């Protein structure tokens, strides 16, 4: 989730929007809340950053509000790469929404600062069962107690444009594809005119979740040590994985290079038919289908030394300083309900975290979506650590490699040295 720095004016506007959002409904400052004791509904403000899920989130809020005479759920989209920065700023001021979208990498930071409400007392009071969710996701948002209601989970797949494969006479990807199969197909699907490439076989952006970590685990490299204190990205297997991706850009030229993918969104290149294959998460199945319809399908990630994939999940967390704890908890419980899970599944939005609801998502679109739920069986959890700053180091050197400013070997050596120093200091 990279983005260019924008002008100070934009930041000012964003903070103004955030402040307006806080003051317009619920949150800790309580402005805009209608109380409850006077018979009016209590506003509970709910933030999420995913534009592609806006329709589903609004439908969930509408459904909840139709059943309520005490709570008014106000859903607010806060899209953008600075979502967590904005969230941290407003929570540090003891303000902000009552309920927030949270991911695994950012959870340790927000929890350690005391920003989040612990659910244990409320869970026990109401007899709510967290056993209905995958244990790995519950643990991802737990530390001395439970802080997150699992929303969904995701794994990574190889999306491909069937029309471009057919035109090139290249067989579709199979579950037995190796890295070499991927490489050969990408070459055959790359088309040029003079010195200009008009179609690439694949796009491999420097995205850790969708590209880097899956290739690491396929080559036997853990994204992080079990005790969360070190990386081994400079191992021969780690360098080999990065070199493979680098060669797709700068040797085979079957992928746009780093600068081109900085200037041109790889997702849009795939949706416009300029790229034949792209690795992306299960959350992109519906957006891709909405644009490409029956031209798009998806397959397991290619195999190298072993099958490999990355699993991650989002959770709903609550503001520790909410003035409406009971009402906020009522909404949190609803967000963890089967009704909400099925709404997300039936619309093809995301794979719901609630056990027993995944089949509806698999059947929601005419694509090979089962590869995502089956990949969860052998996937490695997305790496997290107490100090998320280590990811900045990773991103910096991956960017340098993708821009051809560092070699894969040099970049991975620097990543490992610098990130390990941060992780060791934070343990």
Instruction: Write down the pLDDT at residue 37.
Output: 52
Predicted TM-score (pTM) above 0.75: yes
Q: Which pair of structure tokens corresponds to residue 179?
A: 């890295």
Domains of the chain: 42-154+312-381 (3.40.190.10), 155-309+384-426 (3.40.190.10)
By mean pLDDT, which of 38-42, 73-77, 190-194 is the weakest?
38-42
pLDDT > 70? residue 32: no
The share of the chain scoring above pLDDT 70, in percent, equals: 91
In this structure, the number of other CB atoms found within 10 A of the CB of residue 387 comes to: 16
- Per residue in 150-189, pLDDT (tens digit) is 999 999 999 999 999 999 999 999 999 999 999 999 999 9
pLDDT > 60? residue 100: yes
Question: Contact 133/150 with Cβ under 8 angstroms?
Answer: yes
Instruction: Write down the pLDDT at residue 135.
Output: 81
Q: Which of 154, 149, 155 is nearest to 337 (CA)?
A: 149
Long-range pairs for 8-17 at CB < 8 Å and ≥24 separation? Answer: 11/82, 14/80, 14/82, 14/86, 15/86, 15/89, 17/78
What does the mean pLDDT of the chain come to? 89
Instruction: Write down the pLDDT at residue 324.
Output: 96
């Amino acid at each position: 989730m990279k983005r260019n720095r924008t002008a100070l004016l934009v930041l000012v506007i964003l903070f103004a929007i955030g402040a307006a959002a806080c003051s317009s409904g619920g949150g800790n400052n309580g402005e805009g809340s209608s109380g409850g004791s006077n018979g009016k509904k209590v506003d509970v403000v709910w933030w999420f950053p995913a534009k592609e899920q806006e329709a589903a989130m609004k439908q969930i809020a509408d459904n909840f509000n139709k059943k309520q005479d005490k709570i008014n759920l106000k859903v607010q989209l806060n899209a953008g790469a600075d979502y967590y920065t904005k969230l941290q700023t407003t929570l540090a001021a003891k303000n902000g929404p009552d309920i927030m979208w949270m991911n695994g990498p950012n959870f340790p930071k927000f929890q350690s600062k005391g920003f989040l409400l612990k659910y244990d007392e409320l869970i026990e009071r109401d007899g709510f069962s967290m056993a209905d969710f995958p244990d790995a996701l519950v643990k991802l948002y737990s530390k001395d107690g439970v802080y997150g209601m699992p929303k969904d989970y995701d794994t990574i797949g190889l999306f491909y444009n069937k029309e471009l494969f057919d035109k090139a006479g290249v067989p579709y990807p199979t579950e037995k594809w190796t890295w070499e199969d991927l490489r050969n197909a990408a070459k055959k699907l790359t088309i040029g005119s003079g010195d200009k490439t008009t179609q690439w076989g694949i796009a491999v952006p420097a995205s850790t979740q969708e590209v880097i970590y899956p290739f690491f685990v396929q080559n036997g490299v853990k994204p992080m040590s079990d005790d969360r204190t070190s990386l081994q990205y400079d191992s021969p297997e780690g360098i080999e994985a990065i070199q493979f991706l680098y060669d797709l850009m700068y040797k085979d030229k079957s992928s746009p290079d780093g600068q081109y993918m900085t200037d041109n969104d790889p997702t849009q290149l795939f949706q416009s038919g300029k790229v034949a294959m792209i690795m992306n998460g299960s959350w992109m199945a519906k957006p891709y289908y909405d644009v490409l319809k029956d031209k798009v399908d998806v397959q397991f990630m290619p195999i190298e030394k072993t099958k490999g994939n990355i699993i991650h999940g989002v959770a709903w967390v609550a503001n520790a300083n909410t003035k409406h704890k009971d009402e906020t908890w009522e909404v949190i419980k609803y967000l963890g309900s089967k009704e909400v899970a099925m709404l997300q599944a039936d619309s093809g939005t995301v794979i719901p975290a609630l056990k027993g609801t995944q089949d509806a998502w698999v059947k929601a679109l005419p694509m090979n979506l089962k590869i995502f739920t089956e990949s969860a069986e052998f996937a490695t959890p997305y790496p997290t650590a107490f100090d998320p700053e280590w990811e900045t180091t990773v991103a910096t050197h991956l960017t340098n490699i993708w821009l051809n400013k560092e070699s894969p070997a040099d970049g991975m050596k620097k990543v490992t040295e610098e990130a390990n120093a941060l992780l060791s200091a934070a343990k």
